[in-house]
Amino acid sequence: MVGLLHQTLSGLATGGVYASLALALVMVHRSTHHLNFAQGEMATFSTYIALMLIQAGLPYWVAFALTVVIAFALGVAVERLLMQRMARASPLAVVGVVIGLLLLFNGLSGWLFGFTIKQFPSPFEGNGGGGAFGGMVSDHEVGMTAVTIAVLIAMSLFFRMTKLGLAMRAAALNPESSRLLGIRVGATLAAGWGVAAGLGAIAGMMVAPIVFLDPNMMAGVLLYAFAGALLGGIDNPAGAVAGGFAVGVIENLGGAYLVGTELKLTLALVIIATVLVVRPAGLFGHVTVRRV
């Protein structure tokens, strides 16, 4: 019983990371109808930048904030320099380009920072906290859950309360109407890529102390996040967040009691396949009916 609770809490903690990355995937998909398979590798690259800044002597949270800003700029640059030119390309060509981006960032990470596995510091460890729930979850798990929940709440407020957030939602829903209202749709798309990359960077920095940093760190995380996004509905931000947390719990419980840790990643594929077959729109997604 204690084991079950432990696995569930630990699943919620990693689920928060999947939720952040799932939200990043959904943000790009809603506005461009493309899946950014490079989202995970961009996050890994940003995490390396964070490590570099920390090793250069910056305090953790300064490095954290700086990394989010750099990741935002990186996302904007990728959209402006590359994806913008793909706006009218066929879906298959876009898939080719994002896979190219995946390889590019994966290679860059290894080339610039090395292929060996590195430790990444946690700002929550070593404070003598001893975790929560009688030591069932570590200090880092508590801290990263707090950070991801805070980020998700901030994102929700941003999209509901701010002018830019509202304009980004409008541009994703109906670009032509948005332009008629004076919204610069191209700029909101770039900002969307930037925010998604920032979310990915936070997810990377939070998960790195657990899984250790190497160029392929986010490959598995991206699969879980993708499963979470599909489970919740690929066009529904709140659904994707819920899906991310759910996948975290399913992964941990399934790994502990069902298939063993070696086969955990297959659970993500099982979820993806099941959702696509049974309910392609996801649990909370809209089914769009198109007249032909």
Residue type, 133: F
Q: Please enumerate in sequence order all residues whose Cβ is within 8 A of that of 34, keeping only pairs 6 or more positions apart, or say none.
A: 28, 83, 91, 94, 95, 98
Nearer to another protein, 183 or 203 (CB): 183
List Cβ neighbours of 55 (8 Å cut-off, separation of 6 or more): none
Distance of closest approach, residue 173 Cβ to another protein, in angstroms: 5
Given the complex with another protein, which of 177 and 261 has the nearer CB atom?
177
Provide the residue type at 274 as one letter.
T
Distance CA 144, CA 125 (A): 11
Q: Is residue 177 close enough to count as binding another protein by CB under 8 A? A: yes
| b/e map 52-86, b = 16+ CB within 10 Å | ebbeeebeeeebbeebbebbbebbbebbbeebeeb
Q: How many CB atoms lie within 10 A of CB 158?
A: 14
| Candidate ranges 55-63, 74-82, 178-186, 277-285; the one touching another protein (CB under 8 A) | 178-186
Q: Any alpha helices (H) in the chain, and if so which ranges?
A: 2-32, 39-55, 60-81, 91-113, 139-161, 163-173, 175-180, 185-211, 217-232, 237-257, 264-278
137 contributes a contact to another protein by CB under 8 A: no
Owner of token pair 């506005």:
31
Scanning 50-58, 67-75, 118-126, 181-189 for contacts with another protein by CB under 8 A, the matching segment is 181-189
How many beta carbons lie within 10 A of that of residue 135, not counting itself? 11
Tell which one of 55, 119, 127, 174 touches another protein (CB under 8 A): 174
Q: What DSSP state is assigned to residue 282? A: -
Nearer to another protein, 57 or 182 (CB): 182
Between CA 193 and CA 42 the distance in angstroms is 11
The answer to whether 4 contacts another protein (rule: CB under 8 A) is: no
Task: Single out the residue of 254, 253, 260, 265 nearest to residue 219, CA to CA.
Answer: 265
- Cβ at position 288, least distance to another protein in Å: 11
Find the binder of another protein among 5, 81, 173, 258 (CB under 8 A).
Answer: 173
Show contacts with another protein in window 149-168 (CB under 8 A): 163, 166-167
Shortest distance in whole angstroms from residue 210 CB to another protein: 36
Q: What is the nearest approach in angstroms of another protein to the Cβ of residue 189?
A: 13
182 near another protein, judged by CB under 8 A: yes
Cα dist from 252 to 98, 124, 144, 214, whole Å: 29, 22, 17, 22
Q: Among 62, 99, 181, 258, indicate the residue that binds another protein (CB under 8 A).
A: 181
Q: Which residue number, 176 or 262, has a Cβ lying nearer to another protein? A: 176
Q: Does 290 bind another protein (CB under 8 A)?
A: no
Beta bridge partners of 132: 137
Cβ distance to another protein smaller for residue 74 or 185? 185
**Which range, of 63-71, 176-184, 212-220, 245-253, touches another protein by CB under 8 A?**
176-184
Q: If binding means CB under 8 A, how many residues of this protein chain bind another protein?
A: 18
Chain positions contacting another protein, by CB under 8 A: 163, 166-167, 169-170, 173-174, 176-185, 286
